[in-house]
Amino acid sequence: MRLAVLGLAAILATGCMGRSAGDGGEAKSTMLAIAVTPGGESPTKLWTLRCPSGGTLPRATSACRRLLRLDDPFAPVPKGVACTEVYGGPQVAEVHGRYRDRQVDARFSRTNGCEIARWNKVRFLFPLG
């Protein structure tokens, strides 16, 4: 999955998602490659998202609006935090690219309560159908 995401991120970096006149504020610097592995033998699903509205992610405009309302949506779980030992499933997601002109390299899973909460915060980026 990592190679697929890195390949998708490379495509984003080549300029196919450049800024255009009329893009609004922080949105114009958001270009993401998203890969979600549902688990089991299901194939990894790949999407792109560029804000204010573009890419292959379903409902991209809505996803951009929701994403830009969040503070630090790709932050990892802080070290030393106690998390419930609840398993939410085998799903894994990776997000790479730029968000508000900052580099993003984030991995999401559902292995404990903290990771599930982190996943749920941005689950609109991971449509599993």
Residue 94 one-letter amino acid: E
Cβ atoms of 93 and 34 closer than 8 Å: yes
* Predicted local distance difference test score (pLDDT) of residue 53: 81
Domains of the chain, each with CATH number or no CATH:
2-11+26-125 (3.30.350)
How many Å apart are CA 15 and CA 122, to the nearest integer? 25
Task: Tell me the whole-structure pTM to 2 decimals.
Answer: 0.79
Mean of pLDDT values over 69-92: 95
Instruction: Give 10-42 pLDDT, tens digit per residue.
Output: 444 434 444 443 444 455 589 999 999 999 889
Query: What are the DSSP calls for 78-97, one per residue?
Result: PTT---------S-EEEEEE
Indicate the SS3 state at residue 90: coil
Confidence check: pLDDT of 77 > 70? yes
How many Å apart are CA 105 and CA 124, to the nearest integer? 18
How many Å apart are CA 116 and CA 14, to the nearest integer? 33
Mean of pLDDT values over 70-89: 95
How many Å apart are CA 15 and CA 31, to the nearest integer? 10
Order of all β-strands in the sheet with 102-109: 45-50, 31-37, 92-99, 102-109
